[in-house]
Structure 1
Amino acid sequence: MNNRTFDQRVRLDSIQKLSFRFTSLGFVRNNEFFGPIADGYTLFGYQLNPRIAYQPAPNVVLEAGVFFKSDFGQERITQIAPTFTVKFRHRNWNYLFGTLEGSVSHNLIEPLYNFERLLQQRIENGLQINHQTDRTFFDGWISYLQNTRPGYTRQEQFWGGVSAEFSLLHTPGFRLSVPLQFTVFHAGGQNINSPLPVRTALNAAGSLSLTWQNAASGFLRSARLDTYVAGYSENAEKSYSGSAFYPNLTLHLKPLTVLVSYWRGNAYRAELGGDLYQSYTRRYNSTYEERNRQLLMLRFLKDISIANGLSVTVRLEPHYDVGNGKFEHSEGVYINFRH
């Protein structure tokens, strides 16, 4: 799905040396899931991230702020976390340390990265290199999800990867491109008192993607076909592996965007991937496994620009769980502000 409206990039502004920046996200997402793989629940709340930016040179910026998250129904703020980023640009390449341009900004497909992490675990800290032009997109990062020390009972957790897309053909009406995505999750640590095994999980996905752009302003504005193949491999106490086929057809119509998807997974798993795509359950207090998993998905997406920097996104996402014979759905409304 196109999640650009949720991007939070660290701006380089050659005019102002010192500036105030602010982003917020109000959200409500309801998951009506009844099958054995994913729990149904509602996410309802908001995020705030005020920041001060200092730019000592045209190609360098430092941002410092505080991230607040509040989930409605809780008696206190759910999360308060400092944010700090150093960003340096050299020849259209960006180098970041600290709080990353992460989450959905990595442009990963949902089987590799769960959209709901934007609402629940948005902040990523670590190192990042990215680059974007009309023909190419590249993002490489490593984030430190959880630390540990000798004697601790918890493992340290790293997550990193590369997300890229390269154009093979780019004409006024057509574009043929190759998206490639690769992520690594590692949990372990030295001299810790954790009963959990050391784990390293690899996920990869690739596609041949064709985009058609309508030169006229008709009902059908553009169409894109993606043919993703995904793979999974893990080395823990024993080895695991899986694969999946994930074709998508995206139709940008005049009133809204329609996305038609099919998922066929075979023993697939991704640590940070969307719940519905897993072959191993994420339901509370369950050990269910579904080696062969099939989904038919139909998603309706609408981004509405209200004012400069303020937008509302509405999504309706029904799907049919073929293996369990269940019709399920989720819907969400997101109010996004960037200044």
Structure 2
Amino acid sequence: MNIHCLSLGLLLMASLTAHAQLDERVFATSTALPAGEVGCLSLEVDNLNFFRNAESATYAAKGYTMPGFRLQPRLVYRPAERVAIEAGVHSLWFWGANRYPAFAYNDIAVWRGEASRHNVHLLPYFRARVALSPQVDIVLGDLYGGANHRLIEPLYNPELNLSADPEAGFQLLYHPRRATLDVWINWESFIYKLDTHQEAFTFGLSSRYSITRPDAPLHLYALAQGLAQHRGGEIDTINGDQAVQTMLNGAVGLGLEWNAHRSTLRQVALELNLAGYYQHAGNLWPVKRGYGRYVGARIDLSDFRLRTAFWQCHNFVSLFGHPYFGVISTYLEDAVYYRPRMLLFGAEYTRSLSPDCAFGIDFDAFHRLAAPIDDPQGRHSYEGDRFSYSFGIYLRFHPTFPPQNLPIGAMGAIAGAYPPGGRLISL
């Protein structure tokens, strides 16, 4: 029997055994104003524990394992009915790691020498939010990022919910009856005069409009999404063709959901997306512009979700997506795939154990079809069919302690984590 047919068969069988709404139940954060009376102080603890393993058989990327947890203790204060202020610390821990690269994480961090390290990775956490109306919210500081943006997978790798630092900057949330709009600026790198690294920020937009009622038996919707990352500032010391870099991703799509509302079968959905890439300034990537097509289907069965998708692209590069969705090899320097295609199968199981606790398991399989490779160094000219997979286990706690139940010394413990100047802490 053909080994690739066998792989696909096993993949389909695995996909039919599990899957649920992992992003919504485990990774996303509620955007509702924190509960509590005006003038009261409460304590929130946001903890996400994870064990994730990725096995790769393609030149597009290498495999790796991420065991660890993310912890955010923070104090919440309501100075007014429509205003909330949150202050605390964000920490990321990988089991088995006793030192961490000392810079912002947008992915699994790259080691940059023995001198640039800390023994822990801590960041100050601060969010100020005001509800201008029941439909409009303004957020300054740490944003509702990651899974909350609801970006399609070719534009955003869900794994970043584990490894990336919190997004911080400015955010506008608009949620009328049939639409949602999320606009944000994530300021990733701040510079001073004569600094030796680049200023960097990402502008993002994610919108969705329900053409029919979301609770109708057939829910038809349209989406539009965009990301633009700019690197380079007028006061840094970097010159030449890498002084300014601007790269863009975008997507438009249509989706149809059948709301079955049955005891086991809850929903069946089909979605079609067209994605684009454009390198407006700089030559960071060897391709200037490209596009991709993403067709996906899913079925929700109680606490399970099963999904499948087909992806095909030409000269497409994803700013924050998994390397499997782009033409650039992260394993072979300068190598570019020609019109890669991929079948994706996924399964999730999620369960809400309590209002403050959720558990999730996911399995994803990627079958990349054979494609030519343009390799200037002549190492490889072709890659055959390749089967890769990943799986993860997650447990998230997000309890809130009201004022009368605040642990003694909670404020002092959080405030004591900040050194003068609010820098990253090395312990």
TM-score normalised to structure 2 length: 0.75
Pairwise CA distance, 1:317: 0.5
- Displacement of 1:133: 5.3
Task: Tell me if structure 1 keeps the 8 A contact 2:246–2:282.
Answer: no
Hey, what does 2:28 align to over in structure 1?
Answer: 7
Whole-Å separation in 1 of the counterparts to 2:129 and 2:65: 35
Cα distance in 2 for partners of 1:172, 1:193 equals 57
- Cα distance, 1:335–1:133 mapped onto 2, change above 3 Å: farther
Report the residue type matching 2:37 in the other structure. Answer: I
State whether structure 2 residue 183 is matched by structure 1 residue 140.
Answer: yes
- Give the residue type in structure 2 aligned to 1:234: Q
Corresponding position of 1:173: 217
Amino acid corresponding to residue 22 of structure 1 in structure 2 = V
- CA distance in 2: counterparts of 1:335 and 1:318, whole angstroms: 22
1:286: how far off?
2.3
Answer yes or no: is the 8 Å Cα contact 1:225–1:250 preserved in 2.
yes
Which residue does the alignment assign to 2:61?
38
**Cα distance, 1:197 vs. partner?**
3.8
Corresponding residue number in structure 1 for 2:15 = none
| Corresponding position of 1:220 | 265
The secondary structure found in structure 2 opposite 1:4 is helix
Of residues 347, 357, 363, the one that matches 1:310 is 357
Equivalent pair of 1:24/1:338 in contact (CA under 8 Å): yes
Do structure 1's residue 193 and structure 2's residue 253 form an aligned pair? no
Relative to its length, the structure with more helix (as a share) is 2
Match of 1:207 among 247, 250, 253: 253
Given the alignment of the two structures, is residue 334 of structure 1 paired with residue 401 of structure 2, yes or no?
no
Does residue 149 in structure 1 map to residue 169 in structure 2?
no
- For the 8 Å contact 1:96–1:127, the answer to whether it is kept is yes
Structure 1: unaligned runs, 5 residues or longer: none
What residue identity is the alignment partner of 1:329?
Y
In structure 1, C-alpha distance between the alignment counterparts of 2:232 and 2:67, rounded to whole Å: 33
Shift of 1:25: 0.4
* Gapped regions of structure 2 (runs ≥ 5): 1-20, 100-118, 371-383, 400-427
Q: Which residue of 2 aligns with 1:260?
A: 308
Deviations 1:104-162 (A, max 9, x none): 21111121112122111131110001133562211000011112223222111110111
Percent identity, aligned pairs only, is 26
Q: Cα deviation per residue 1:37-60 (whole Å; 9 max; x = unaligned)?
A: 112101110011000011011100
- Output the CA distance in 2 between the equivalents of 1:2 and 1:108: 14
Tell me how far apart the structure 1 counterparts of residues 319 and 238 of structure 2 sit (CA, whole Å).
19
Alpha-carbon shift at residue 32 of structure 1 (Å): 0.2
CA distance in 2, matches of 1:295, 1:147: 37
Q: 1:338 corresponds to which letter in structure 2?
A: H
| Conserved 8 A contact 1:178-1:209 | yes
Q: What secondary structure, in the 3-state scheme, does the structure 1 residue paired with 2:395 have?
A: strand
Higher alpha-carbon deviation: 230-239 or 308-317: 230-239
Is this contact kept in 2: 1:14–1:58, CA < 8 A? Answer: no
For the pair shown, which has the larger CA radius of gyration, 1 or 2?
Answer: 2
Distance 2:341 2:176 in 1: 35
Residue 294 of structure 1: aligned partner: 341
In angstroms, what is the RMSD of aligned CA positions?
1.8
Structure 2: distance between partners of 1:58 and 1:255: 36
In 2, the alpha carbon distance for the partners of 1:122 and 1:291 equals 33
Work out whether residues 220 and 252 of structure 1, in 8 Å CA contact, stay in contact via their aligned partners in 2.
yes
Q: Secondary structure at the match of 2:288?
A: strand
* Structure 1 segments of 4+ aligned residues over 4 angstroms from their partners: none
Q: Answer yes or no: is 1:108 the counterpart of 2:151.
A: yes
Query: Could you tell which deviates more after superposition, 196-205 or 290-299?
Result: 196-205
Deviation of 1:210 (Å): 0.4
Equivalent positions of 1:115-126 (< 5 A) are 115-126=158-169
Distance of aligned partners of 1:102 and 1:25 in 2 relative to their CA distance in 1, 3 Å threshold: same
Alignment deviations for residues 236-266 of structure 1 (CA, whole Å, 9 cap, x no partner): 2467100000011011123510010111011
Q: Give secondary structure in 1 for the equivalent of 2:340.
A: strand
Q: Match of 2:62, SS? A: coil
Higher relative contact order (CA 8 A, sep 6+): 2
Question: What corresponds to 1:80 in structure 2?
Answer: 122
Letter in 2 for 1:61: A
Please tell me whether the aligned partners of residues 22 and 350 of structure 2 are also in contact (alpha carbons under 8 angstroms): no
Cα distance in structure 2, aligned partners of 1:84 and 1:254: 36
Residue aligning to 1:184:
228
Q: CA deviation at 1:272?
A: 1.6
Residue matched to 1:96: 139
Deviates more, 1:175-184 or 1:208-217: 208-217
Q: Deviations over 1:5-27 (max 9, x none)?
A: 21224533253621111100001
CA, structure 1 residues 262+215, in 2 after alignment: closer, same or farther (shift >3 Å)?
Answer: same
| 1:78 Cα deviation after fit | 4.2
Aligned partners of 2:272 and 2:295 also within 8 Å: yes
CA contact (8 A) 1:88 1:95 kept: yes
**TM-score, normalization by structure 1:** 0.94
**Higher share of residues assigned strand:** 1
Distance 1:228 1:286 in 2: 29
| Match in the other structure for 1:56 | 79
